[in-house]
Amino acid sequence: MSLREECGVFGVISPEPTNAACICCYGLYALQHRGQESCGIVVNDDGVFTSHKDLGLVGEVFSSETLSGFPNGTMAVGHVRYGTTGGTNRRNCQPIEVNHQKGRMALAHNGNLSNAASLRDELELSGAIFHTTSDTETIAYIVTRERLKAPSIEDALSAAMNSLDGAYSLVLMSPQKLICARDPYGFRPLCYGRTADGMYVIASESCALKAVGADFVRDVQPGEILVFSRNGVVSRKEHCGKQPKKLCVFEYIYFARPDSEIDGVSVHSARVRAGRILAEAHPADADIVIGVPDSGLDAALGFSQQSGIPYGIGLIKNKYIGRTFISPGQSTRLDQVKIKLSAVEESVKGKRVVLIDDSIVRGTTSGRIVGLLRDAGAREIHMRISSPPFLHPCYYGTDIDSSENLIACKHSVEEIADILGADSLGYLPVSALGELSCGGGYCSACFSGDYPTAIPTDTRKNRFEQKLSEIKSDK
């Protein structure tokens, strides 16, 4: 099991043909933190779709030679993936493309359907043949099915949303329209902006808008469908207000970039608030406060501001290696920790250190970091976590499909501190999560067990990729 964020989606529509692939690529660079398994771009040139998708980081998949192979187009859709349903392989790369008598479609999806298994069973029994093992293809099938009787692609998407349960922020491209939608709970972020020359841009986070020179217009509302075309922008709200807002609070704690703003709340400010709350809830006598790069730095600053303990740089991150949190496989993750971080001995040697990190999942990474600081001569290490303990699975995109490997499910706070080698340990109180989102509705099911939707019976990531021996043992 590996904790991670699902994906990042990006879309662009221009009044005139432009280098849409390059614009999309810049946007995906800005969203790379949301997924590092694979990426893809589909460009629309007068109704003809050209695509390139592969495993790897954006800079690895899209060379200058690859980008030059795309035609100019008026639209493009892009995606960076870390999938919570379906394995890491080329067939699961997005955007998903569909060729149909009603027209082509390219679909990029961020999130995780909680009813993916039942929907797929229904579709397969009605004759559908799947080429991937991701829940995104399930969404594409349902939209295509609805398109047979709907007068427009946006009507088909609206009808499809009646069948979808769980988390989905979508960008969909047809020959003439670019459409985005956010699930009625608003689990995952989605926003759009506009450039000075009239180009509209859709992205998972506002940081990607800035990367391509677009001004932020607003967040897509939970349940809202936005249709972009030559006729401008049309908002459809028939699904708005059907459910209480449940934005994943971990977007503020870890997933999003600190320079993004989600639903009117600055991610940086939310993390600073978390640090301030930690300083009040779990004070420590110490000489320096340091954060684990990158998402622990803002909270460390808040802890320092509230406690008066000086803030310092105690850990240096190798910027040329990806986030261990979204690297599949325990052995890979452990290997990456060894080269990802190094301690600044001058900052921590002989000192009492407050170490701020965003979360503890299995404890493997956290224990390694504590060991780095011990080796660098830290006298005391007081670990503070800017999220509550993970106690429950997540069915909406964070890859916690069971409680089996969650260290907080098996050990007390004192025991975890001992396992990690820390002198003390303190978590953000669950009751304080609302302060991060400034009182907005949020989902904290992985901490509290309070699920907004029905709990699926089969949550395994590889449930559509089982070996024969595994299938037999299930019967």
Which active-site residues does the annotation give? 7
Nearest residue to 255 (alpha-carbon basis) of 396, 132, 143: 396
* Number of other residues whose CB lies within 10 A of the CB of residue 391: 16
* Number of other residues whose CB lies within 10 A of the CB of residue 68: 10
Of all helices (H) and strands (E), which one includes residue 470? helix 468-474
* Number of other residues whose CB lies within 10 A of the CB of residue 162: 12
As a whole number of angstroms, the distance between CA 413 and CA 416 comes to 5
The strand ranges marked E within 46-199 are 48-55, 73-81, 96-98, 105-113, 166-173, 178-182, 191-194
Asked whether the bond before 95 is cis by omega within 30 degrees of 0, the reply is yes
User: What residue spans of 314-432 are helical by DSSP H?
Assistant: 330-340, 345-348, 364-375, 413-420
As a whole number of angstroms, the distance between CA 332 and CA 152 comes to 46
As a whole number of angstroms, the distance between CA 379 and CA 408 comes to 26
> Over the Cα atoms of the chain, what is R_g?
22
Q: Which three-class secondary structure state does DSSP give residue 348?
A: helix
The DSSP secondary-structure symbol of 167 reads E
Contact 109, 168 (CB under 8 A): yes
- CA torsion, ordered 208, 141, 4, 323, to nearest 10 deg: -50
Place of tokens 């790369």: 93
As a whole number of angstroms, the distance between CA 289 and CA 308 comes to 10
Q: In sequence order, what are the residues at sequence separation of 6 or more whose Cβ sits closer than 8 angstroms to the Cβ of residue 303?
A: 275, 276, 278, 279, 289, 309, 354, 356, 384
For helices 297-307 and 267-281, give the axis angle rounded to 10 degrees. Answer: 50
Contact 143, 162 (CB under 8 A): no
Q: In sequence order, what are the residues at sequence separation of 6 or more whose Cβ sits closer than 8 angstroms to the Cβ of residue 453?
A: 114, 165, 166, 185, 395, 396
